[in-house]
Structure 1
């Protein structure tokens, strides 16, 4: 199905492959041993902090569990730019990466070490000159500078690992161009299903970026002269393979020492969570793994992700690449668990996922592809996790298999014996069917992992097209009950962690094609405001938001974030309503299906008794703090009820205090300014007695 282009790989008297005394095996030689692949996702690629997205640093027990589960290749998504200064990678970070690489190789597996997104320094910059950036703004990219940075980083990485044998593989990038701006017209160049086009000219730029990596690796010497390097198709999308085929990077080592990479997430089956759209429905089920009466939500026939489409796409990759001596890595693949389903429907869905994984990896093996499943560690709604690592949040032990049926389907495809036990029944029991006529709610449990770091629990509702016009409302009403506390045991004896124990809840929304962010405080100390036994109603008007929302006719998502340290507790949410101008309300979501959950939040659907109903409670207006962020400083204006001592603090994403100031606030309006050379997300907190103001800021 793909046009086979010219690979243009140079072969000549000066090729390193012909001059190296001890050349490493070629890609086609090691491919049969690479077997089934696994991603240590959301860890080493986190910009600046591998534990910042909820996972612990990989240890020996975890990596051994990967091997014991039947995997023989581990892809290590990795950040570099956020661990570098003036183009030089921090030596300590290289040592940290080496720790993970060594754990993988010492367990007899292949390690694929890549350059991941890392705030888009390369992947969002596959341009030359003026262009529209991912946020829809005019931008300019000097492609020569991006190329120089790419070559410089890979020179350092290659030098550091030059003595490693063929079990270490390098990968030039991750998903170049995947964040290109969406939402324009075809006349303006948005020809890729509403996304900015990735054409031949941009492929030329990407080819040069890959060649910068290859040049750096080959010239570093040692085993790098013939080490396998993986190069990515634009956005790693299969339909962009002809572009990579036509402009395949030239390797100084000659033929045979590269692999190509694509990713495989058939959207409607794998990732779609916002609800059915006019152009297509979410696929919960697959082929014959379906309740039978829901063909509209079953991936089959010619749908992307069906048996026939997998066979056609993967055989196309084989003829385009593998048959030319270039095996293909499916660097990421997977499908989310949809805990929005319950009971028998959830069971059918989970069985369908397992069947899809088994068929996909078997088809990959047949066609010269190395399938690497994506695993993030989280076990909430929408997760793809197979091996447990977040034991503080989900219990059990590091290395427990959380998706036995899916793993066994893949093991069978590679001729491995099935592991005992199963996971589906326990997951279904956590998400039971609620009898018709019963009210439904979602019960969310929050549990922070650390005692002195700020963490977030997110409950998010993605709004489908046709249901996302909130411009007819003047605000949002939520109804909830529960108890959340932020006073827990402090495990860091070196700090007075009690000083930093706090909890707050914000309502948020994201609107328009740029996903503009708006938020408003709901609770400023949840443990003091909530009633554990009775539902309370809270209203947030648009003018309560810190910045008045725009794009209300096109709201992508709404939700609630619980922020804090030392947080534990449970909140039950009954509904989210829109408030009309006349004071009446109507349901936006009543949690008939579980919302998306992230961070420290886990949940289940629960039945609600009609006796829980109460009259809407009046809510006192929340005090506001007005914040102005400048380069190197942040200024806050707030209203104090009396003249008394006060304290202002800036906390980074780890909950560490990066700036603070003690002062006396006067009754009425006050201004305080803090300076810091920290850059990125932070929390600004101003305290005066029992009065407390908090706001998220992005420090410049």
Structure 2
């Protein structure tokens, strides 16, 4: 996504912010354990659902990158833990270098900045997630200090600088296994929307070749690492069509890679139709077959268009052994204009993920950290809590993962404000309900997903689950139920979509909590008054 669009909607204007420029140190060790090399098909399946860290390491003021420069808080391990606990298996981390690059001919990248990038990568990598890092804002003409410009006159200097920066980044991470993927650049084009121009596209192709050669020659795992290659503006049509894209040769890859396998992926983004996904007005708020108001639905870019577009990626690349990665997709929040908008945002996300998966691709949702009108946020990065569980559920389940609730498929009131269904029957007898806790804890916080199973012989229509939190724990946010009070003996009450539990049926609810050292699971579960096993 372009920096202009990405920055729009952030609560604090970048021009008014002062860059927090302190040097960062590495606090977590690098994991360099070997990992089994996967084929393209296996890799895409294993990457599962992906999420973007967004602007954090891309943001800049006066050409100096800084993670708080556009209004987001400092990145923490707790945030990444929360993202993982929500079911995501891959995190894309956009990175800008800009003024952190020294003068030629060495173009030395500031060591403190490289260390901070490594520290953030480690948050995810050491947790077992796939991580993608790229060169992001350096190619946007709208960004002060940008230099990776495909129609700049001095391409010799541009290419030398590009090569030196990637050499340093690749060397920094040479010992990481193939859960780390490098992406050469982001949305690189001449800044003019329309058909690609030459020789600008030729220079983009050259950048990709320099990237592949440079990374491979640094050795270590880089010789066989999966590398992500974009075409013109990461646009699917301009990458699959006859506009000038060509794959780089992979001359220097490790000899251990079977000759019939690739180690290159194709990078694309998907924001069609833009009047629904990104245009900041309240006119087009619905998408897909479930839309109820034609006046609020775009005239193009629906399920059939999505399918045709993703199929081009399969036919052009996947069929030849090159998987693809939709590194960005999503839709902004227009609930201020249409309360049902989140339903369609979730339906759109589900469709993108499932269609990409159908045709051999993986995906990463674009989250710019901003919640509210026109924001893409799925999480509150200050409290490390979920803000859009419906969209998360849609993404995780479409990717084949396990989610905490079912995605919306038709317009409905906001789940967080739904009233519980009345209870008409409950499980009878001790042991008529079963509980499974799944606690994920960090320094002073935790998440717990609770699976409730009706082990009785009759259906439950409306339920309340009572349990006791360990001392020192306080619930700060929850999903798929309402919780009261926040500590001590808590009552979780069903919401509108999960109040009915047939005999043998299950539902999963969850919450995030703080703790003072005891991150144990709650105890004493009772469902509608009956003790659970």
Matching residue of 2:58: 45
Corresponding residue number in structure 2 for 1:141: 153
Structure 1 position 114, deviation (Å) = 0.5
Aligned pairs for 1:202-221 within 5 A: 202-221=200-219
Aligned to 1:268: 275
Against the structure 1 CA distance between its residues 225 and 23, is the aligned structure 2 distance closer, same or farther, given a 3 Å change threshold? farther
Aligned to 2:368: 376
Q: Report the equivalent of 1:597.
A: none
Aligned equivalent of 2:125, options 105, 114, 128: 105
- Structure 2 residue aligned with 1:329: 325
Q: Does 1:167 align with 2:179?
A: yes
Supply the distance in 1 between the matched residues of 2:147 and 2:266 (Cα, whole angstroms).
17
Q: Please give the TM-score of this superposition, normalised by the length of structure 1.
A: 0.49
What's the counterpart of residue 257 of structure 2?
A: none
Indicate how the Cα distance of structure 1 residues 422 and 246 shifts in structure 2: closer, same or farther if over 3 A, else same: closer
SS at match of 1:326: coil
Indicate yes or no: 2:339 matched with 1:346.
Answer: yes
The structural deviation recorded for 1:74 is 0.5
77, 89, 98: which one aligns with 1:81: 98
C-alpha spacing 1:421/1:262, structure 2 compared with 1 (3 Å): closer
Give the SS at the match of 2:379. coil
- Inter-partner Cα distance in structure 1 for 2:146 and 2:98: 9
1 CA distance for matches of 2:222 and 2:49? 24
Counterpart for residue 163 of structure 2: 151
Over alpha carbons, which structure has the higher Rg?
Answer: 1
Deviates more, 1:416-425 or 1:263-272: 416-425
Write the deviation string for residues 595-653 of structure 1: whole angstroms up to 9, x where unpaired: xxxxxxxxxxxxxxxxxxxxxxxxxxxxxxxxxxxxxxxxxxxxxxxxxxxxxxxxxxx
- What is the CA distance between 1:425 and its match in structure 2? 5.0
* Other-structure match for 1:284: 285
C-alpha separation in 2, matches of 1:29 and 1:407: 23
* Structure 2 CA distance for aligned equivalents of residues 422 and 326 of structure 1: 31
CA contact (8 A) 2:100 2:113 kept: yes
Structure 1 counterpart SS, 2:363: strand
Distance 2:406 2:395 in 1: 15
Residue 370 of structure 1 deviates from its aligned partner by 1.0
Whether the 8 Å contact between 1:354 and 1:406 is mirrored in structure 2 is yes
Aligned residues of 1:35 and 1:72 also touching (Cα < 8 A): yes
- The number of residue pairs the alignment matches comes to 362
Q: Following TM superposition, by how much is the alpha carbon of 1:408 offset from its aligned partner in structure 2, in angstroms?
A: 1.2
Equivalent residue, structure 1, for 2:75: 58
For residue 286 of structure 1, give the secondary structure of its aligned residue in structure 2: coil
Match of 1:91 in 2: 111
- The TM-score with structure 2 as length reference comes to 0.63
For 1:43, what is the secondary structure of its paired residue?
coil
CA-CA distance at 1:340 after TM superposition: 3.7
The answer to whether the Cα contact below 8 Å between 2:86 and 2:403 also exists between their aligned partners in 1 is no
Residue 3 of structure 2 is matched in structure 1 by none
Change (3 A) 1:52 1:96: same
Distance 2:36 2:400 in 1: 31
Mapped to 1, the partners of 2:242 and 2:83 lie a distance apart of 34
Change (3 A) 1:245 1:316: farther
Structure number having the greater strand percentage: 1
Distance 2:147 2:102 in 1: 19
TM-superposed deviation, 1:181: 3.9
Q: Distance in 2 between matches of 1:23 and 1:152?
A: 30
Residue 413 to residue 25, structure 1, CA distance change in 2 (3 Å): closer
1:469 aligns with none
Q: CA deviation at 1:286?
A: 1.5
Residue 126 of structure 1 is matched in structure 2 by 150
Q: Distance in 1 between matches of 2:200 and 2:355?
A: 31
Written as runs of structure 1 = structure 2, the 5 A alignment for 1:629-668 is: none
Distance 2:74 2:271 in 1: 26
Once the 2 structures are TM-superposed, how far is the Cα of residue 289 of structure 1 from its aligned partner?
2.9
2:377 corresponding residue in structure 1? 385
Distance change in 2, residues 1:285/1:161 (3 Å): same
Q: Matched residues in 1 for 2:229 and 2:164: separation? A: 17
Indicate whether 1:296 and 2:308 are aligned.
Answer: no
- Contact 2:217/2:223 (8 A) holds in 1: yes
Per-residue CA deviations over 1:388-441 (Å, capped at 9, x if unaligned) read 20x3xxxxx31x111111111122213334425999856997xxxxxxxxxxxx
Q: Deviations over 1:464-495 (max 9, x none)?
A: xxxxxxxxxxxxxxxxxxxxxxxxxxxxxxxx
1:200 Cα deviation after fit: 4.8
1:573-588 to 2 correspondences below 5 Å: none
Which secondary structure state, in structure 2, belongs to the residue aligned with residue 169 of structure 1?
strand
Alpha-carbon deviation of 1:31?
2.1
Partner in structure 2 of residue 690 of structure 1: none
Alignment of 1:308 with 2:301, yes or no, is no
The verdict on how the C-alpha distance between 1:30 and 1:422 changes in structure 2, with shifts beyond 3 A counting, is closer
* Aligned residue in 2 for 1:357: 349
1:13-70 per-residue CA deviation (whole Å, 9 max, x = no partner) reads xxxxxxxx99954544422211111000110111221111111222111111111111
The alignment status of 1:407 with 2:392, answered yes or no, reads yes
Give unmatched runs, 5+ long, in structure 2: 1-33, 254-260, 418-533
Q: Which whole-Å CA distance do the structure 2 matches of 1:328 and 1:287 have between them?
A: 24
**Are the equivalent residues in 2 in contact too, given 1:124–1:180 (CA < 8 A)?**
no
Alpha-carbon separation, structure 1, partners of 2:369 and 2:397: 23
Contact 2:91 2:129 in 1 (8 A): yes
The alpha-carbon deviation at position 243 of structure 1 amounts to 4.9
> Residues 80 and 244 (structure 1 numbering): CA distance in 2 closer, same or farther, change over 3 Å?
farther
Which runs of 5 or more structure 1 residues have no equivalent in the other structure? 1-20, 128-139, 183-191, 276-281, 392-396, 430-700
Match of 1:33 among 46, 51, 64: 46
Distance in 1 of aligned mates of 2:407 and 2:264: 39
Give the 3 Å change call, closer, same or farther, for CA 421–249 of structure 1 in structure 2: closer
- Offset from partner CA, 1:565-598 (integer Å, 9 cap, x none): xxxxxxxxxxxxxxxxxxxxxxxxxxxxxxxxxx
Matches of 1:170 and 1:205, distance apart in 2: 19
Q: Deviations over 1:226-255 (max 9, x none)?
A: 111111110111121125775222222466
Question: Judging changes above 3 Å, is the alpha-carbon distance between structure 1 residues 53 and 418 closer, same or farther for their aligned structure 2 residues?
Answer: same
The 3 A distance-change label for structure 1 pair 168 and 250 is same
Given the superposition, is the C-alpha separation of residues 124 and 265 from structure 1 closer, same or farther in structure 2, using an over 3 Å criterion? farther
- TM-superposed CA distance for 1:359, in Å, is 1.4
Whole-Å separation in 1 of the counterparts to 2:406 and 2:49: 21
Deviation at 1:89, TM superposition (A): 0.4
Cα distance in 2 between the residues matched to 1:124 and 1:89: 15
